[in-house]
């Protein structure tokens, strides 16, 4: 690709991104926040979740719980502002269930959870979105090369056109109404755009003449796409940023964050920046430069090596079923107070072997000097094992016993890069990470290093 053409593409992409997100910020939807009722017929002692994107562009669960020994109808009222696509993804043994369905403000939706944990509509006439049109997931984009790139785009463009014909046919035969037709069209288009931009992640792809056309199509259609709330909007936004970085051969976290900070509306900006920082190496110059940039811009995300706000404020469950966050736990510490995070599980023998050592050494520190917080990673189904195992340790009240619920576990574990337990991480009361791999309680250095951190703060 010639340098002059590359320069034009970068300028065009800048303009499209600015226009793209000015539309996003300025859109007004005719429906205000409206109560929407979702009913789930559930088997005995069951729990499940469906996911959607809320008004802040956050991936949000709607959780349905039946603690009764009988089949029960569970109702949940959600507040949505515009047509929203809900997703259900579950692996159960060797089966995978994946469903998408559209919900409109003010709707009442009736679902049934089977004993195999698959969901279906109560009315058999209703059909999930993925059963109406073809899925782009079936078109592989791994290991693309310059040679097979034309075939890849021919495939996805063909699927987009076939889906469009199917949607019109469903409307013309009165199988769907016009509201659902509009949502299906947007759903088809946005997933096409996400797939079309995905080759920007392929190292083997050095030039891609198709992306110029794709960006123009996004520019022309985005106002319509934004009339439906879909989790794919996050993917599309991230792909657009990466496309621009690909053009400029910039692979840095700083470049990604700067573009997100200057072109995104507040909610989407926060989500995109938080996610990329959570998965970044906190000890690199790139990461530190990025955080300094955010502070200088007055965005005040976090300081160097600070826990991101959505992690520091994430709710963990205590033994009484109440929810606490690390931020709340830090409130009653002294200014130089410390928090030692202890990642453990009831089935982890080395974890349990550290508890007697911790029990002895905890006594040497005041409750407002150092707070010891156990973060249990047992699954929701093993919650009873967590409580029984902890009770046997007979630790003092200075050790807070918290557990990560399944819905919060992924981001939390990813941020702290917990690949083995027991794992000890030392932070201060503001969430600054002082040591990613602190000494275990059985180490002779454990108490000495804790004292050292207290004195130097």
Distance CA 261, CA 250 (A): 16
pLDDT tens digit at each of 457 positions of the chain: 444 444 444 444 444 444 344 334 333 333 345 789 999 999 998 888 898 988 767 778 888 888 888 999 999 888 888 999 999 988 776 788 999 999 999 999 999 999 888 999 988 778 899 899 999 988 988 788 888 889 999 999 999 999 999 999 999 999 999 999 999 999 999 999 999 998 876 777 778 888 888 988 887 887 788 888 898 988 898 988 988 888 888 989 999 999 998 887 767 787 788 778 877 777 789 988 988 888 777 665 544 456 666 677 778 888 888 888 888 887 777 777 899 999 998 888 889 999 999 999 998 888 888 889 999 988 888 888 888 888 888 876 778 889 888 877 777 877 777 777 888 999 888 788 888 778 899 988 899 989 888 877 6
- Confirm whether 268 is domain-assigned: no
Are 118 and 155 part of one and the same domain?
no
pTM score, whole prediction: 0.60
Distance CA 314, CA 302 (A): 15
Of 226, 251, 276, which closes a domain? 251
The single-letter DSSP state of residue 375 is E
What domain range includes position 175?
Answer: 3-29+133-251
Are 244 and 374 part of one and the same domain?
no
Are 190 and 314 part of one and the same domain?
no
The residue among 396, 404, 395, 351 whose CA lies nearest residue 375 is 404
- Confirm whether 298 is domain-assigned: no
Distance CA 155, CA 136 (A): 9
The residue among 34, 68, 47 whose CA lies nearest residue 380 is 47
The residue among 124, 95, 122, 94 whose CA lies nearest residue 109 is 122
Using CB atoms within 10 Å of the CB of residue 205, give its burial: 0 to 12 exposed, 13 to 18 middle, 19+ buried. middle
Structurally, how many domains does the chain consist of? 3
Whether the bond into 422 is cis, omega within 30 of 0: yes
- Confirm whether 299 is domain-assigned: no
- Confirm whether 362 is domain-assigned: yes
Of 80, 114, 129, which closes a domain? 129
Strand, coil or helix: what is 424? strand
Are 330 and 446 part of one and the same domain?
yes
The pLDDT value recorded for residue 32 is: 47
Distance CA 453, CA 370 (A): 10
CATH number where 316 lies: 3.40.30.10
Are 8 and 66 part of one and the same domain?
no
CATH number where 63 lies: 2.60.40
Structural tokens at position 64: 């349905």
């Amino acid at each position: 690709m010639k340098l002059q053409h590359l320069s034009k593409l970068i300028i065009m992409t800048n303009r499209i991104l600015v226009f793209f997100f000015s539309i996003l910020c300025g859109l007004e939807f005719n429906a205000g926040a409206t109560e929407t009722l979702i009913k789930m017929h559930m088997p005995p002692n069951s729990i499940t979740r469906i996911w959607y994107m809320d008004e802040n562009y956050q991936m949000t669960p709607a959780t349905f719980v039946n603690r009764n020994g009988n089949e029960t109808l569970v109702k949940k009222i959600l507040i949505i502002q515009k047509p929203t696509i809900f997703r259900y993804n579950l692996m159960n043994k060797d089966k995978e269930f994946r469903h998408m369905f559209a919900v409109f403000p003010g709707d009442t939706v009736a679902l049934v959870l089977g004993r195999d944990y698959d969901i279906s509509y109560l009315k058999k006439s209703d059909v999930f979105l993925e059963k109406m049109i073809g899925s782009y997931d079936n078109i592989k984009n791994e290991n693309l090369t310059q040679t097979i790139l034309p075939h890849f785009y021919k495939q996805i463009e063909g699927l987009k056109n076939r889906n469009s014909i199917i949607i019109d046919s469903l409307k013309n035969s009165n199988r769907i109404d016009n509201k659902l037709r509009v949502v299906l069209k947007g759903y088809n288009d946005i997933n096409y755009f996400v797939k079309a931009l995905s080759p920007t992640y392929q190292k083997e792809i050095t030039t891609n003449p198709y992306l110029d056309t794709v960006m123009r199509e996004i520019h022309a259609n985005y106002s319509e796409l934004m009339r439906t709330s879909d989790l794919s909007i996050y993917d599309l936004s991230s792909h657009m940023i990466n496309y621009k970085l690909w053009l400029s051969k910039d692979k840095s976290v700083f470049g990604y964050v700067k573009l997100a900070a200057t072109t995104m509306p507040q909610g989407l900006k926060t989500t995109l920046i938080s996610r990329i920082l959570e998965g970044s190496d906190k000890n690199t110059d790139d990461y530190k430069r990025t955080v300094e940039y955010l502070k200088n811009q007055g965005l005040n995300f976090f300081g160097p090596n600070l826990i991101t706000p959505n992690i520091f404020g994430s709710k963990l469950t205590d033994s009484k079923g109440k929810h606490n966050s690390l931020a709340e736990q830090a409130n009653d510490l002294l200014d130089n107070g410390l928090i030692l995070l202890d990642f453990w599980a009831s089935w982890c023998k080395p974890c349990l072997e550290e508890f007697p050592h911790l029990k002895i050494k905890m006594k040497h520190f005041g409750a407002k000097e150092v707070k010891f917080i156990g973060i249990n990673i047992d699954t929701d189904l093993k919650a009873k094992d967590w409580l029984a195992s902890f009770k046997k340790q007979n630790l003092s009240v200075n050790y807070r016993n918290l557990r990560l619920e399944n819905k919060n576990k992924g981001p939390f574990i990813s941020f702290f890069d917990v690949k083995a337990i027991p794992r000890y991480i030392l932070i201060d009361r503001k969430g600054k990470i002082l040591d990613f791999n602190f000494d275990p309680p059985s180490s002779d250095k454990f108490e000495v290093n804790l004292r050292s951190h207290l004195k130097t703060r």
